[in-house]
Structure 1
């Protein structure tokens, strides 16, 4: 619960902080509202069970544990067996690697995840911001903001969201600035 979360309701920011703070602030505003909650870094939406009072909602957070189903893979470790389609030459190369195909594929994926190219990092940040932005899909300027996001045009983005609530606009610009920072790093490397 140490991550930074935000709660949005009626196109306004109603709380920011850890999940317990979000629940407490939301229930203090109105016990019957169910805001959109996002983990701010990833802009991933978090579904909470808002039924009951503050204590009940917090208790439901503690009870939620990931469930594992199926027997393949190593479910206790979070390993899931899925199909991978490769050409015969790829399977031959993998078979010659120390540890076998699964170990080699995990190692290659881990290396790629540690050092993604800047273009991939920018695309990830754009998609994350779009997840958050999509809550405002009915607001005027949404389409222009979306286009500006994927064009990396901060000034056009700011213009598109200028009529939105100040707190939401500030959050969105804070996230957009992460993209600008990556874009500047891309140009500095040339």
Structure 2
């Protein structure tokens, strides 16, 4: 899935979409813009800085989404291989646990690595929705802090956002500029049912 970005000129949305499209829109609006332009990652809600030098072709090339790399052929080598299974994307890392944790892990079928992978996958499955909701709230908060921190009701809106009280959140931001309000609701709640 490709990342999307949104640019705001002052309190109005200028463009939204892939980074290459947003960068072009910002470059075109930049010279005559009377209000500051800010670009935000929709995934994190954080502002991003872009190098907008060059013509349209240079910008498109600079911010184009990278194509998937071709599978690398492993060179024939006599060097000993390191730990992990690099072809599968498995790399060895250090994990610090108490002795009783290692004892339990080592007693599991397949050993510590298999047991840890199973635990991680189970946690991802069980907590995936909650993790996505938390990330969405944080992205909305980062965006809201950067662009609407001085708007009336900001603190109450932030409290409602983190309390996961959608109705109260929407009522707190109801008087804000429509583009900001709509983008906040999209960031915070677009992945959830009404």
Q: Residue by residue, what CA displacement relative to the aligned partner does 1:137-158 show, whole Å, maximum 9, x if unpaired?
A: 2322211110111122223222
- Which of the pair has the greater relative contact order for Cα pairs under 8 Å at 6+ separation? 2
Residue in structure 1 matching 2:60, options 58, 68, 73: 58
More helix by share: 1
Secondary structure of 1:112's counterpart equals helix
Task: Point out the more displaced range, 19-28 or 29-38.
Answer: 29-38
Larger of the two Rg values belongs to structure:
2
Task: Point out the more displaced range, 47-56 or 88-97.
Answer: 47-56
Secondary structure of 2:16's counterpart equals strand
Q: CA deviation at 1:180?
A: 6.3
Q: CA deviation at 1:89?
A: 1.6
TM-score (norm 2): 0.68
TM-score (norm 1): 0.69
Correspondence for 2:149? 137
Q: What's the Cα RMSD here?
A: 3.6
Correspondence for 1:45? 46
Q: CA deviation at 1:114?
A: 2.7
Q: Aligned pair in 2 of structure 1 residues 75, 19: CA closer, same or farther (>3 Å)?
A: farther
Q: Aligned pair in 2 of structure 1 residues 61, 18: CA closer, same or farther (>3 Å)?
A: closer
Q: Aligned pair in 2 of structure 1 residues 12, 107: CA closer, same or farther (>3 Å)?
A: farther
How do 1:13-52 residues align onto structure 2 when only pairs under 5 Å count?
13-31=13-31, 35-38=38-41, 40=42, 42-45=43-46, 47-52=48-53
Is 1:87 aligned to residue 98 of structure 2?
Answer: yes
Instruction: Structure 1: state its 5+ residue gaps.
Output: 65-70, 185-190
Is 1:111 aligned to residue 112 of structure 2?
Answer: no
Please give the alpha-carbon distance, in whole angstroms, between the structure 2 residues aligned to 1:111 and 1:5.
31
